[in-house]
């Protein structure tokens, strides 16, 4: 490799302030824009079992758009012209209504030769368009020496993973154009993928910090989704008495005043009929809680798709991916400083993969993705996954920020290495310390009080009401009371939703009418439930803001992530009095001091991860609600043993007689022979 030494004058120029060029957006010609612009207008549609060839008259006659059906490809896919289609919806863009109309038949639309073409998904994947995107403002970054560089790699990687579509076909193409006056990408893909590229580039530009600032930029969210989220915060009340499933869901959507689409095909494939009935009374509660509690027993989920509230099956929802861009400049060790590289994102990416339920690691490349993007004044993560995974990521990032201190003692980071791989390092027992890496100067003892207490409470606001209800007391006297009636009693007495997991209980032969006999006076609710359920291999759990009565085996799969600020528990003195930041002690206490099973079920199992920045020292823990309660109790007890000061001393290695006869090559052996220099400050 040839090393080029730039003249000092050139280096000074490249280190100076840079003005980002405004992007030049190429507009479509009036002829090219006519059909796309017409499809953006709002419409109302009412079709019930209408033949396909008759339904396509809607855009042709009412919308004044020329339409052609691709007869050859429909014949190949064995889709008949008289296939029935149904759609009743109001106030959505025409493009969304058209796609909802065609989805059940596996069809889509494209613009071809100034005509709206109705064709199959396979045929549409072959209809490629070439567009040119100015990215001059997205390819500038500074290297670790502070020199300004032009790098197309981050934006190309962000597009190829974040703009949903098949970028690995032989015909899809993306090439940079790099001249003294042009920094552009020439992209040849389908219409749908071009739409994703345009949205992604727009979102990345919104993540830019115009000046040095630690305040994160909000994640760009489509306008309709903002409307749905606002409506979900409204309190509503519903009463269903043997009400058909479809009618019940429509009633909830009507109270929210949002368009609804019921994916009947996917629901029917999972054995859910629109005429199946529901009996329940809910409210007043937030509309989101009411909807999810209505859908959960049926194995259904909601999504936001094609500008509607989309009700579908659990299996179908798992494949509905969207892309979001998250500003994470304040969560990186280097923040928005010079020279952020992909490796600077790795701790945060690893934490997100371990602490959320998204499918991030699928060997068939059909999983979610997380891609770091760093350019001048921008540090962002481009994520593609399901709606549920995005909601978990949003909550996780918010909790990490809540654990941020205005100021923390500067400390050397104790680097942990051992036999674990990069993927599983944070999910394993603490490894043997081998090196100490300097990330700050030794801090005077007078400043230690800065980390005297945690910055945030680990319990999410959405779960706080359930935790408080479980800690409240009740007087009960059940005599041969059916389990179903016991749940109804709790719903009346507690200010939280309580749900019986009929499906999981039935699989373990626990009947919903199981007779319960139990009496207690002023006893905690969690103790009452534990005493009643434990003999039947059942227990309570918290799932989607609902107290769920389920089986032992099912509860072990219901994991949630909480963030624990441990800034006051990770500091220790090293050689010469230098301050060290070391998570191994507190992590070892949690591994050994709680009853939970850790990292036993693979990549998406119960885990502990760390995040260290100049303002944050946190543990992100993914486990069951019961283990989280144990963690909170254990950390509280450790903090109650804190001394104002302890004599400085060396911490002696410890091991058992059996250890001396074994080779110290396992993760646990590394932990047992771990030696810390310096006494713990607290």
Query: How would DSSP label each residue in 598-648?
Result: -S-SSTTSSEEEEEE-SS-EEEEEEE-HHHHHHHHHHHHHHHHT--S----
Answer whether residue 677 shows pLDDT above 80.
no
Q: Please determine, for residue 428, whether its predicted confidence score (pLDDT) is greater than 50.
A: no
Residues 254-273: what's their mean pLDDT?
89
Pick 155 or 557 by higher pLDDT: 155
Is residue 156 pLDDT above 90, yes or no?
A: yes
Please list the residues that pair with 572 across neighbouring strands.
580, 680
The residue with tokens 């009411």 is 290
* Residue 88 tokens, joined: 């009743």
Tokens of 95: 């493009």
From CA 446, how far away is CA 375, in angstroms rounded? Answer: 39
pLDDT digits (tens, 9 = 90+) for 534-589: 999 998 998 877 899 999 888 888 888 899 998 888 877 666 666 777 888 888 88
Query: How would you write 36-77 as a 3-class SS string?
Result: HHHHCCEEEEEEEEEEHHHHCHHHHHHCCCCEEECHHHHHHC
Q: Which two tokens stand for residue 228?
A: 């749905």
CA neighbor of 523 nearest in space, from 473, 471, 486 = 473
Residue 109 has pLDDT above 80, yes or no: yes
Tokens for 559? Answer: 């994991």
pLDDT tens column, 57-75: 888 888 989 999 999 999 9
Q: C-alpha distances in angstroms, 680 versus 578, 581, 585, 593?
A: 12, 10, 10, 19
Tokens representing 439 are 């990330």
Using CA of residue 348, residue 349, residue 352, residue 355, what is the dihedral sign?
negative
> What structural domains does the chain harbor?
30-124 (3.55.50.30), 129-206+321-395 (no CATH), 223-317 (3.55.50.30), 403-454+566-672 (no CATH), 461-555 (3.55.50.30)
Give the mean pLDDT of 595-602.
65
CB 339 within 8 A of CB 386: no
Is 327 within 8 Å of 380 (Cβ atoms)? yes
Supply 150's token pair. Answer: 């032009």
Helix boundaries (H) for 286-436: 287-295, 314-317, 342-355, 387-402
Q: Which helix (H) or strand (E) is 157 found in, with range?
A: helix 153-162
Closest Cα partner for 189 from 200, 175, 178? Answer: 175
How far is CA 188 from each of CA 17, 136, 424, rounded to the nearest angstrom? Answer: 35, 19, 38
**pLDDT one-digit tens code per residue, 609-645:** 888 887 888 899 999 888 888 898 899 888 888 776 6
210: tokens are 């115009």
Beta strands 277-286; 173-178: pairing state: unpaired
DSSP state of 680: B
CA distance 223 to 300: 24
- DSSP code of 662? S
pLDDT-derived band of residue 417, with 50, 70 and 90 as boundaries?
Answer: very low
Radius of gyration of the chain (CA): 29
Rounded distance, CA 48 to CA 266, Å? 18
Q: Which of 231, 221, 306, 234 lies closest to 263 in space, CA to CA? A: 306
Q: Strand pairing partners for 281? A: 239
CA-wise closest residue to 238 among 273, 278, 275, 276: 278
Q: Residue 553: CB partners within 8 Å, gap ≥ 6?
A: 504, 508, 537
Angle CA(519)–CA(520)–CA(524) in degrees, nearest 5? 135
Strand-pairing partners, residue 238, are 282
pLDDT at 60: 85
How far apart, in whole angstroms, are the C-alpha atoms of residue 48 and residue 82? 13
Measure the CA–CA gap between 360 and 366, rounded to whole angstroms: 9
Token digits for 641? 């043993």
Residue 108 confidence class, pLDDT cut points 50, 70, 90 = very high
From the list 629, 498, 639, the residue with the least C-alpha distance to 562 is 629
β-sheet bridge partners, residue 107 = 120
Could you tell me the pLDDT band of residue 382, with boundaries at 50, 70 and 90? very high
**Could you tell me the pLDDT band of residue 601, with boundaries at 50, 70 and 90?**
very low
Arithmetic mean of pLDDT over the chain: 80
| Closest of 229, 227, 222, 202 to residue 380, by C-alpha | 202
The per-residue pLDDT for 366 is 60
More confident residue, 517 or 367: 517
- Two structure tokens written together for 124: 């549409």
Angstrom CA distances, 287 to 292, 544, 669, stand at 9, 13, 51
* Mean per-residue pLDDT, 658-674: 41
- Give me 354's structure tokens: 């371990």
Contact call for residues 353 and 611 (beta carbons, < 8 A): no
Q: What is the pLDDT of residue 409?
A: 61
CA-based torsion, 147, 149, 153, 156: positive or negative:
positive
pLDDT of 228 > 70? The answer is: yes
Confidence (pLDDT) at 365: 47
Most confident of 287-296, 413-422, 663-672: 287-296
pLDDT at 648: 60
Strand-pairing partners, residue 175, are 186
- What pLDDT does 459 receive? 77
Q: What is the pLDDT of residues 239-262, one digit of tens each?
A: 999 899 999 999 999 999 999 999
- Read off the pTM: 0.80
User: Of 417, 420, 412, nearest to 436 (Cα)?
Assistant: 412
Task: Give the β-pairing of 579-581 and 412-416.
Answer: parallel
| Joined tokens for residue 174 | 């993306």
Q: Using pLDDT thresholds of 50, 70 and 90, give the confidence band for residue 650.
A: low
* SS (HEC) of 540-572: EEEECCEEEEEEHHHHCCCCEEEEEECCCCCEE
Does residue 472 register a pLDDT over 60? yes
CA angle 594–597–603, rounded 5-degree value: 130
User: What's the average model confidence in pLDDT over 426-434?
Assistant: 32
Of 31-35, 202-206, 312-316, 419-423, minimum mean pLDDT range: 419-423
Pick the closest to residue 15 from 339, 291, 341, 235 (CA basis): 339
Asked if pLDDT for residue 362 goes beyond 60, the answer is: no
- Residue 533: predicted pLDDT: 93
pLDDT at 649: 60
Q: Are 300 and 314 contacting, i.e. CB atoms less than 8 angstroms apart?
A: yes
């Amino acid at each position: 490799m040839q090393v080029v030494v730039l003249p000092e004058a050139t280096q000074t120029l490249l280190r100076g302030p840079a003005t980002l060029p405004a992007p030049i957006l190429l507009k479509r010609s009036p002829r090219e824009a006519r059909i796309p612009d017409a499809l953006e207008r709002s419409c109302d549609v009412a079709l019930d079992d209408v033949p396909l060839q008759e339904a396509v008259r809607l855009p042709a006659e009412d919308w004044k758009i020329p339409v052609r059906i691709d007869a050859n490809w429909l014949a190949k896919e064995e889709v008949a012209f008289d296939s029935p289609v149904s759609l009743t919806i109001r106030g959505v863009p025409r493009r969304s209504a058209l796609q909802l109309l065609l989805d059940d038949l596996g069809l889509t639309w494209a613009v071809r030769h100034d005509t709206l073409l109705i064709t199959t998904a396979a045929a549409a994947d072959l209809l490629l368009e070439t567009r040119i995107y100015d990215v001059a403002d997205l390819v500038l970054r500074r290297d670790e020496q502070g020199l300004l560089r032009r790098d197309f790699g981050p934006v190309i990687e962000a597009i190829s993973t974040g703009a949903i579509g098949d970028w690995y076909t032989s015909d899809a193409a993306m090439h940079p154009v790099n001249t003294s006056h042009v920094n552009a990408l020439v992209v040849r893909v389908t219409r749908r993928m071009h739409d994703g590229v345009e949205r992604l580039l727009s979102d990345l530009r919104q993540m830019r910090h115009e000046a040095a600032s630690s305040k994160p930029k909000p994640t760009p969210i489509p306008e309709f989704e903002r409307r749905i989220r606002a409506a979900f915060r409204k309190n509503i009340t519903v009463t269903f008495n043997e009400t058909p499933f479809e009618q019940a869901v429509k009633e909830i959507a009507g109270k929210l005043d949002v368009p609804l689409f019921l994916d009947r095909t996917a629901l029917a494939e999972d054995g859910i009929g629109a005429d199946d009935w529901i009996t329940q009374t809910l409210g007043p509660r937030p509309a989101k809680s009411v909807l999810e509690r209505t859908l959960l027993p049926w194995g259904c989920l909601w999504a936001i798709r094609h500008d509607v509230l989309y009700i579908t099956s659990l299996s179908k929802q798992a494949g509905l991916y969207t892309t979001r861009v998250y500003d994470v400049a304040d969560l990186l060790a280097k923040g928005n400083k010079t020279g952020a590289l992909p490796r600077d994102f790795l701790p945060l990416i690893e934490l997100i993969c371990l602490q959320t339920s998204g499918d991030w690691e699928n060997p068939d490349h059909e999983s979610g993705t997380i891609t770091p993007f760093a350019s001048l004044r921008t540090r962002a993560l481009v994520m593609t996954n399901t709606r549920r995974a995005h909601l978990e990521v949003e909550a996780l990032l918010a909790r990490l920020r809540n654990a941020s201190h205005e100021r923390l003692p500067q400390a050397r980071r104790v680097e942990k290495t051992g036999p674990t791989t990069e993927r599983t390092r944070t999910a394993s027992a603490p490894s043997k310390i081998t090196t100490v890496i300097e990330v700050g100067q030794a801090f005077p003892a007078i400043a230690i009080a800065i980390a005297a207490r945690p910055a945030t409470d680990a319990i999410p606001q959405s779960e706080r009401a359930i935790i408080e209800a479980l800690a409240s007391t009740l007087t009960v006297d059940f005599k041969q009371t059916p389990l179903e009636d016991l749940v109804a009693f709790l719903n009346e007495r507690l200010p939280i939703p309580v749900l019986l997991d009929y499906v999981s209980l039935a699989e373990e032969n626990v009947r919903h009418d199981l007779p319960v006999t139990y009496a207690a006076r002023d006893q905690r609710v969690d103790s009452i439930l534990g005493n009643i359920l434990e003999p039947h291999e059942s227990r309570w759990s918290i799932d989607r803001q609902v107290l769920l009565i389920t089986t032992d085996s099912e509860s072990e799969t219901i994991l949630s992530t909480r963030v624990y600020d441990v800034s006051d528990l990770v500091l220790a003195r090293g050689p010469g009095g230098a301050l060290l930041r070391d998570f191994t002690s507190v992590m070892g206490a949690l591994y050994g001091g709680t009853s939970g099973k850790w990292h036993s079920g693979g990549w998406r199992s119960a885990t502990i991860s760390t995040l260290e920045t100049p303002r944050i020292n946190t543990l992100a823990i993914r486990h069951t609600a019961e283990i989280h309660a144990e963690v909170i109790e254990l950390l509280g007890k450790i903090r109650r043993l804190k001394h104002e000061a302890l004599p400085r001393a060396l911490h002696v290695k410890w091991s058992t007689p059996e250890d001396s006869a074994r080779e110290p090559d396992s993760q646990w052996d590394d932990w047992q022979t771990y030696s810390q220099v310096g006494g713990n400050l607290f």
